[in-house]
Each structure stands twice: as structure tokens, then as C-alpha cells.
Structure 1
Amino acid sequence: MRLIKNKHLSRLFTRSYLLRYLRPSDDGILLFLAVSVGIATALALWIFHIGIEWFHVLFVEKIAHELGEAGLVISLALAGFIIGWIMQRFVGHEKYHGVAGIIEQVALAGGRLRYKVMPFKAFASAMSLGAGASVGPEDPSVQIGSNLGSMIGQRLRLDEDHIRLLVSAGAASAIAAAFNAPIAGVFFAIEVILRGELTTASVSVVIIAAVMSAALTQGLDLGEGAMGPFNFTLGSALEVPFFIPLGLLLAPLSVLFIRLNFSQADFWHRVVKLPTPLKTALAGALVGMVGIWLPEILGGGREVMNEVLKGEQESVIWLLLILGFTKMLMTSVSLAAGFVGGIFAPSLFVGTMFGDFYGNVIVEIFGNAAGDPRSYAIAGMAGMMAGVVRAPITAIMLVFELTNDYRFILPIMLVTVVCILVGEFFEKHGVYQLALVRNGITIPEGREVDLMQGVTVQEAMFTPPPTIHEKASLTELRDSLRAYHRNALCVVDDHGRLTGIVSLSDLQQAYRGEDSYHLTVGDICTREVITAAPDDVLWTAIRKMGANNVGRLPVVDPHTGELVGMLNRHDIVEAYNKAIHKKLKDQQTAEQIRLNTLTGAHVYELHIKGNSPLAGLSIAEVKWPPETVVASITRRGRLVVPHGNTILRVGDSLTIVADPHSEIALMNLFNEEIPWG
């Protein structure tokens, strides 16, 4: 299979003196780029961690130490002010923190990331972590690797499919280098970045990059203090049931962490009305005040996790709970207010604390039969990460590579699966996906499917369906058919279960008989009914209707047999129209994202409200912010091409292309809230 069909890239490789004679295949060129991404990511992360150490010395060991007890508060506030200014001045407004933006760009913009602003984000992230903000380094590391992959792909003018592969390779390389866990890096790229889209090319490229990154990091000792390996293991199979309650405990806690992250973002965005530098400085002061009493929550917390998991730190059991909850709150505050980092490492920290707490309680109750409490700590680390990020295979493989013990896989899998299954009952999406959903973007897992295969029967059916009891008389049936204006009704029993279908023709045929007065609906209805289940895709229901020449299908719960809805041709057409509308809207969103990526401009859809001062003015009379263009106006469903003398009216929807630095002025002009992720 030929992977690259790019004349520019082929010419580049042909000019090389050595490669002129080797003449590598297209597959070989792509794998060479994967190796390059892996090596570049490892070296970039080495520089990134040097920056973290340098800022730690500056803000913690010098400024904070010299200023005494209040030094940590002042140093974090100072760092927050600088970080806020850098992000506002050089990066601009970003809808998403960390990995969520990469997922969006890979799915909708062909992996074309804004790699030119990445140095400023990496600088701000290194300062955040070095100064002690309660954020993690793994998300920025993933951004660094992904942006390197995107930069290589864009500079070599690769097509979008191959740019996406190199972005995923960069993400895998970052996780592999951070934990010396190449397998976990591969699955992170596949599960989180590519959303489960598996091809031979994607797997090969991601594996090569992750292995090279991990090998270089380990061989040259480029990484920060590594986690593990840990030397404890599962004592016996009798310990496995003790891990099930841990998964049940972590499920609501992981959902709490997700929701706390977004509730804090809402609070700092809508309530704290300060310029970005002052807002980040205020958050830094808050984190610093908490850090004076609980220094363990500062930074990524990798050293604290190592001490707990290796048994080097004896903690009061209730302190573990306090550290877990405080870390969740301070991480949410740090990210919401503008510090640059991620939630990946904090979720590992929180899971470790809660897992160790649970392990100590279980050992106190059951003694040696429960095993080593540290085993529950590392299982908690995997469970919490899986519950927050919703990447179960990544979590399982990460812990496997940290423990180097295949016997520990069973309890890890158990905790992870229980945590995710129970967590999805409370919150369907993980932290990255929820950030996208809140902005109206839904990215399906795996490959794109046909429209009718992406809509379920439950989404298209109408409820409640008209029914009649099987013991009803024929007179009641006649009255019901008239009342519902139907030619047929579903027949149900005392429990609401479908038992048949009765039609007007069945009633007419029954009246021709001699004993019609003694018959019930159950006597004349058709018992063999073609049905659909709520979770069936609409395409399956359409095939059933076509094969059996029927115009409607009862929808029945497959577990209880209860009638839950009815599906007819009109419902299918309406669902198809909605699916097309959503598809077009997703394509429009993708084009807006591409425009933003390629030009740096943002696309806004704003509305003229009833109290808007813009109503009645012409476009030329409005004092627009700099670098702002009105691209189109939608008025009562019709497209209006704007001109200088076009009068703005209440209810108009304007599509505006503007420089992101003009966003605040633009939102104030329309009395709108500034969007965020």
C-alpha cells in the first residue's frame, strides 16, 4: 500500500546524497518521519523539563525562600501574572485546555495545529509547573509532541491523513517519554487522539515514534524522575474481589473531578471579571496559600506519588483523603484561571491518594488477606485516570509497564472497567470529550459511518405510541381507532408488553362473523409482529420495513418486552433531515476551525437581540473592532450579502471573521459572553 503521494516530499528525499541511491519506498519515508518525530519529541521534552527545573529554582528556592512564610503566595501570584500576560499577548484566547484542542484539530482540521504559538505555551507551562501551580506536565508534553508532528507534516506539505498520523505519533512519543511506557503511549494516541480509528499505517507510525522516544529518553537519561518500577505484586487470587469496591468508589470521584473542572471554569469566566493576568495571579495566590499547609498538592505531584507507592512516606490515613480532594480543587482552580498544564498527572495523583486510603482501610479490616495497601494505590491511579480521561486500555497498559508484573493486570482491569462503567452512568463523557461537547462538537469514535448508521431508532421514534389492551372489546377498539385517527393500534397486556397488532381490516373481518360480540382485541389481533429495539441503528429498521413491506414498526425493549415507541416512514425522513443538518453543521464547524488554524482568524456567529444598540444601524455606522469583517447575515432563514448600507435588524444572525485579539470588544458590542472551552 502506498502511503505518501507527495511530489514535494519525494523531491526533498531525492535530493539527499545518500537517499538518492537508497530510493526509499513511500512506506519507508513515512516511518523515517515517525522516527524523526519520536527523537524530536524526546529532545524537546528534555528541554521542557530543564525549563521546569529552572523556574522551580527561581520561584520556589529563591523568591519564595527569600520572602519567608508568604513567599510561596507572592511567587505563585507573580508567576501567574506573567503567565496570564504571555498567554493573552502571544497565544490569544483558546477554547480548550490541552488535549481537547488536539482532538478537535485532528478530527476536523486534518491535524493542522497552530505550532507557531507552541513555544509560548511551552514556556508558560514550564513556568506554571516550576512555580508550583497544581497542574500536570503530561498534557503540555502531548501538545509539544503533537505540534512537532504537525509542524513536520505541514512544512513538508503532506496531505491531511499523514499530518494526522504524525500528530498522533507525537502524542504517543510524549506519553512514552514521560513514563518510559511506549505501549501506553501507543494506546493513548489510538484511544484519545485518533478516537479508535485503527489502520495498519496509523499503528505502525505510532509504534515506531513511541519506541524511539522512550528508547532515547531512557538511553540518554533525558527524562525527569521516572515513576516505578514497583516491586509489589498480587499475593493471591483471593485478593481480587477487594478491588471491586475500589472501582465503585473511584467512579463518582472521577465524575466529581470532571465536573469540578468545568464548574470552576464557569466561575472564573463568568464571576471573576478581571483581566487575564490579574485573574491568573489571584489563582496563584490561592494555590500558594493552600500550598503552605499542604505542599504535596503543588506541581504535578510525581515525587509524592513515588513515595506513597514505594512505601517511603507514612501518612495519616485521613491526610490521604484531604490531599485527594484538595488536589482536585486546586487543579481545577489553576486550569480555570489560566495556568498552563493538564489534568492527566493530577488524576493519577488523586487516584493514588484515594487508592492508598482505601487500601489502608481494607487492610485494617481484613488484615493480611487483603494484601499490600500500595497495590490498591496503584490500582486507584489507573482507575481514576481511566475515569477522568476515559482511556481504559491506556490506563491498564501504563500501570502494567510501571509494575512489570503481568499478574497485576487482573485487578487493574477490574478497577478500571468498574470505574468507567459506573462513571458513565453519571457522566457520559470524559474530560476531553466533554470540553468539545460543551462547545457543540461531537466526534464519533472510529471511522465515519453512513448517516443512517449513525442514528438510532430511539432518536427517531415517537412516544407514547397509541395502544389498546388485549382484553378490550371490539366496540372499544372501534372507538379507539376513531379517537386516534389510526388504521392500526399496538396491543399490550397488563404490564405494557407488546402482544400483537390490530388493524381496521381485522375489526371489519371480525364483524362479519357470528360471534363478534364475544370477541376481544386479543382474539383478532396479529400475534407475529416485526419489531425494532431502541438501540438498533435506523438502517436496520429501514431494512426490516422494506423486507416485510410494512409502513411502521413497534419499538420494544429487548429485555422486558415493553412497548416503548413507534417508528414510521415520516419519522425516518425527519430523522434523516436532522442528520443531514447536523452533518452540514459539523462540516461548517470544521471549516471554521481550518480557517482559524491556517489564518489565525476566528469565526463568530452573533445575534442582534431586541435591546441591542446595533439594531437600526447600517454596517458602515457600527464602530467595529480592528480586523473585523462581516461575512454574511442570515435573516428569517434567508442569506443576505452584507454591504456598507445594509441595515441591521433585530433577529439577524451575523457571521463575522475577526482577529482573536478583538474578541472581547466584539462580544461587548453584541452584549455576548466570551466563549470558552
Structure 2
Amino acid sequence: MAELDHVGTGPRAWRESLLDLLRPRSRQGVLVTVVLIGAGCGLVAVAFHGAIELLRALFVGTALRQTSPLARGALLVALPAAVGALLAWLVPFLAPRAGGGLALDRKAYAGDPTRLLDPRTLVGAFGANSLSLGAGVPLGPAGPTVVLTSGFAAFAARWLHLPSRFVRGMVPVGTAAGIAAIFNAPITGVVFALEEIMGAASRGVLGGSLLAAVAAAVVERTFLGGDRLLPATPAHWGDLRELLGFAVLGVLCGAAAGWLPRFVPILGRGLEALLARTGRHALVARGALAGAVAGLLGVVAPETLGIGYPAVSEWLTGGGSGPQAAIAFAAKLAGVSLALAAPLVGGVFAPSLFLGASLGAAAGHLGQHLFPMAHIEPGAWALVGMGAFFAGFLRTPIASVLIIFEVTGDYGLVLPQMLTVVLASIVARRVSRETLVEQALTPAERRPGGRRDPLATLRVADVMTTDLRAP
């Protein structure tokens, strides 16, 4: 009988011994735990990236390889339509929070991470987003990635029986690690977690976020090589008059980025009214329609299918043409608006980079045509536009500047980039006070625990020394 008891409790005893070994007992133990969790987040992000690329090669790659224009166009339209309808039918029943993106991350930080980011949601998010982006839906992987990495980090902390405040702190830690793994940009990951998720400075969480981000970036470099995600031709500016053009670009990016949060809900209500006769199948019909239109737009502008980073890289190196970039911007804007209104599954991080780069490239080529003696570089304008649109859309100005420099490795446009980011942020806030992420949150979720950033009301006079004397 004693032997049976020993056998029955063996696995449990082994698990408890493992947990006892991994559970941190000191500050050094906490740091090691955070590094291991960050590395795990990196593995999750790499696996998600691989799944998207595999399905994209299977779906979009097969469609683009068709020699017949009719067959190619039919597949490009049918694939996202079928996937959009399938996910609209399955996700609400199997994993209703799987399409939450950045809004779900912020809800988890404000509430119970292990309840909102439960294994069912994480598995659903992995499968649904991989399928959606692989089929050519014009959204991005960053939002789903931070959901996966934040959920993994919170689950690991809960599995180790760590305190609830530690588990909650794993949400921004996982966010930073996810961004670092996607873009090979650990500093941007930490700042983005501060601006988008936490909203207030927290020394302990910031330190953990930095460690996890570095660990995740190391994992990404190990498996994917660490190459620049968006290589750019070194760009410079030397004419002060060009700053005026950059300022106009910043205003345009801010207006377009601010227009999206106002237009998407209106479009969503329009789709709901249009397809009301389909009854309980309305959501499936919306997914199919949005997917079909996205595919149709992809026939006109194939670079808009899926994430679109190859096209962004082309614009950043000065390639493409003004009309091509303008058509891509219009097609992507329409596709993203419809995909978010339906809603289809995917993130908004990558589309904002695509839209900014295409708008900047179109403006740069136009300026080059109108002012041939001004030596305007379209690649520089694409780079500046990318940061400006990102800032206007997500309202994370510091991360917007940092991500451009970390992702491209180009620091030659610091002043124009900061100018356009500030202008885009101001204009976007005037056009729409809330982002699409903020629209999905309650007031309590926007400021978890009612906390305010202690630096928000700090003045220079409060910290400066005024009693200096000459030696």
C-alpha cells in the first residue's frame, strides 16, 4: 500500500521539487527567473513567426505562383474570404478573446492576467492569427505576438506560484520581450511596454522588462539570424527648407492615423446594417466580405497582402515609384479599415508602419519630381513617414522614434523624425481623442489602479538645484 501511495504521488512530488528548484528566493533568483521567462517569450515569438511564414508560403505563395491571371486573382480573393469566414465562425465559440491584440494585453494588466490570457485564448490566438496572416489578411503579427508572450510570461509566473503582483508585472515584461523578439529592438520593447501597457513608471517592472527584452532578442538572433527586419539605405538631409516638407508629411500622417479610429466604427456599423438580413450568420458574412475585398485589393496591389514588410524595405531603400506607393497606401488603408471593422484577426502594429512608409515614399517621389534640384531622397521620406504614422496611430511617440532607429539602423534623420512624430501625435489627437485600442477599454483599464505617472506632473524647477556658487 505504501508503494502504491509512493507511485501515485511520484509525479506530483517531482513537479513540486522542480517548482521548488525554479522558484526564486532572492533578488538574484528573480533576475534569473525573468531572464528565463524572456527567453521563453523569444521562443514563442519565433515559433509564431515560423507558423505565419509557413502558412503564407502555402496560401499566398501558391496563389502568386499561378501562371494564369484568372486563377491567381481567384485564389487571392477566395483564400482570405474563406479564412475570414472560417475564423468569424470558430473564434467566438472556441476562443472569444483570441483576436484581442493590444487591447487584451492592457485589459490583462488592469485585471487578472491568467484569466484573460488563459491557455485556451493563447492557443486560439496562435492558430487564428497564423491562419489569418498566412492567408493574406492585411493586418500584422505584433499585437498577437505580445498577447502570446505576455500570456506565456504570466502563465509561467503563476505556474511557479509567484505572488499575484509578480504575475501581473509579467504582462509588460512579456510585451517588451515580444516586441524585442519581433523587431530585434529591445530598447523599443521596453519603452513601448511603458507607454502602451503600464502608462506609469515602475522601476521593478522596467528592470524586468529590460532583462526579458534582451533575452528574447538573443533568442531571436540565435534562430533567425538577427538581420535587420527593415534594412534602409543611409539617408540624410541638408536643406532646412526640406524640414517644411517633413512637417507637412507629419501633419498628413497624423490626419490619416487619427481618421482611422473615427472611420472604423462607422464602417463596422455600416457592415452590420448591410448584412443584417443574414441573421445569425452576419458575423461570418462580414468576415467573408472583408476577406474577399482584402484579396481583391491584393490583386491590384499584391504588396498589401499580409504583413507587407518586403514592400516597406523597398521603399526605405528608395525603390518603387510614386504612383505605386500611392496606390499601395490607398489599397492598404482601405483593406485595414475593412479588416478592423469586420473584424478580422490580426494586429495593427505592422499596418501602421506600412501605411507610413508608403505615404512617405509617395510624398518623397512627388517632391523629387517637383523639386529636382532639392536632392530629395524618397527613402528618407518613407523612413520619416513610417515613424510619424506609427506615432499618430498608437500614440507612443518615444517608442515611435526608437523603433525606426533600432529596426533600420539609420540615425541620419533624427531631427526630421522627431519633428514629424510630434506633429503627427498632436494632429492625430485632435482628429480622434482615442485610439482603436483605447476604444476597447474601460476608464479603469486605461489607467490600472488609478495610477498616474509620477513624472507626468514633474517640472524642471522641482528637481533643479538653484543654490550653486562659483568656486
Q: Specify the code of the residue in structure 2 equivalent to 1:227.
A: L
User: Of 180, 183, 186, which aligns to 1:176?
Assistant: 180
| Paired AA for residue 38 in structure 2 | G
Aligned ranges 1:232-243 → 2 under 5 Å = 232-235=235-238, 239-243=242-246
Pick from 305, 309, 313 the counterpart of residue 302 of structure 1. Answer: 309
How far did residue 325 of structure 1 move?
Answer: 2.3
- 2:358 is the counterpart of 1:353: yes
Q: Is the 8 A contact 2:104 2:147 kept in 1?
A: no
Work out which of the two has the higher radius of gyration on C-alpha atoms and give 1 or 2. Answer: 1
Cα distance, 1:237–1:445 mapped onto 2, change above 3 Å? farther
**Which position in structure 2 is the counterpart of 1:284?**
291
- Tell me how far apart the structure 1 counterparts of residues 114 and 446 of structure 2 sit (CA, whole Å): 14
Q: 1:193 matched to which residue of 2? A: 197
CA drift of 1:381 comes to: 0.4
SS of equivalent to 2:433:
coil
CA distance in 1, matches of 2:444, 2:270: 22
Query: Matched residues in 2 for 1:174 and 1:408: separation?
Result: 26
- Equivalent residue for 1:163, pick from 140, 160, 167: 167
State the distance in 2 between where 1:411 and 1:248 align: 13
Q: For the residues of structure 1 that align with 2:225 and 2:337, how far apart are their CA atoms?
A: 30
**Residue aligned with 1:129, SS:** helix
Aligned equivalent of 2:257: 254
| Higher share of residues assigned strand | 1
Partner of 1:38: 38
Of Structure 1 and Structure 2, the greater helix share is in: 2
Partner letter of residue 156 of structure 2?
I
Give runs of aligned pairs for residues 531-570 of structure 1, distance below 5 A: none
Determine if contact 1:133/1:287 at 8 Å carries over to the other structure.
yes
Deviations 1:34-77 (A, max 9, x none): 21222112211222122112222332334675644312222222
How far apart in 1 are the matches of 2:374 and 2:450?
A: 46
Alignment CA distance shift 1:191-1:137 (3 Å): same
Does residue 376 of the first structure (1) align with residue 381 of the second (2)? yes
Unmatched 5+ residue regions in structure 1?
1-10, 454-534, 536-677
Given that 1:148 and 1:167 are in contact with CA atoms closer than 8 Å, whether structure 2 keeps it comes out as: no
Unaligned runs of 5+ in 2: 1-15, 458-471
> Partners of 2:141 and 2:226 in 1: how far apart?
12
After superposition, the Cα gap between the structure-2 partners of 1:24 and 1:425, relative to the gap in structure 1 and judged at 3 Å, is closer
Deviation per residue, 1:504-550 (Å, 9 max, x gap): xxxxxxxxxxxxxxxxxxxxxxxxxxxxxxx9xxxxxxxxxxxxxxx
User: Do the aligned residues in 1 keep the contact of 2:117 with 2:147 (CA within 8 Å)?
Assistant: no
Tell me the distance in 1 between the aligned counterparts of 2:164 and 2:425.
Answer: 32
Indicate the percent of aligned positions where both proteins have the same amino acid.
Answer: 30
Residues 171 and 185 of structure 1 are in contact (CA less than 8 Å); yes or no, is this contact kept in structure 2?
yes
- Specify whether residues 122 and 336 from structure 1 end up closer, same or farther in structure 2 by C-alpha distance, changes over 3 A only: farther
Matches within 5 A, 1:528-677: none
Query: 3-state SS of the aligned residue for 2:137?
Result: coil
- For 2:94, give the aligned amino acid: F
For 2:240 and 2:124, locate their aligned partners in 1 and report how far apart those are by CA, in whole Å: 50
Identify if the C-alpha distance between structure 1 residues 203 and 68 changes in structure 2 by more than 3 Å, giving closer, same or farther. Answer: closer
Asked whether the equivalents of residues 400 and 408 of structure 1 are also in contact (C-alpha less than 8 Å), the reply is no
- Determine the C-alpha separation between the residues in 2 that align with 1:268 and 1:293: 23
Structure 1 residues 170 and 223: CA distance shift in structure 2, 3 A = farther
> Aligned pair count?
431
User: Is the 8 Å Cα contact of residues 45 and 223 (structure 1) preserved in structure 2?
Assistant: no
- For the Cα contact (< 8 Å) 1:240–1:411, is it kept in 2? yes
Aligned residues of 1:64 and 1:74 also touching (Cα < 8 A): no
Q: Distance in 2 between matches of 1:375 and 1:445?
A: 39
How far apart in 2 are the matches of 1:41 and 1:444?
25
1:268–1:225 CA distance, 2 compared to 1 (3 A): farther
For residue 109 of structure 2, what is the aligned residue in structure 1? 106
When normalised by structure 1's length, the TM-score is 0.59
Q: Is the deviation greater in 346-355 or in 234-243? A: 234-243
Q: Which residue of 2 aligns with 1:81?
A: 85
1:37/1:145 contact within 8 Å kept: no
For residues 42-61 of structure 1, the aligned pairs below 5 Å read 42-61=42-61
Which amino acid in structure 2 is aligned with residue 77 of structure 1? A
What is residue 215 of structure 1 aligned with on the other side? 218
Name whichever of 419-428 and 369-378 sits farther off.
369-378
RCO higher in structure (CA 8 A, sep ≥6): 2
The residue aligned with 1:599 is none
| CA shift for structure 1 position 309 | 0.8
- C-alpha distance in structure 1 between counterparts of 2:255 and 2:311, whole Å: 24
Cα shift readout 1:239-263 (whole Å, capped 9, x = no counterpart): 4343212112212111112223322
Measured at CA, do residues 375 and 445 of structure 1 come closer, stay the same or move farther in structure 2, by a change above 3 Å?
farther
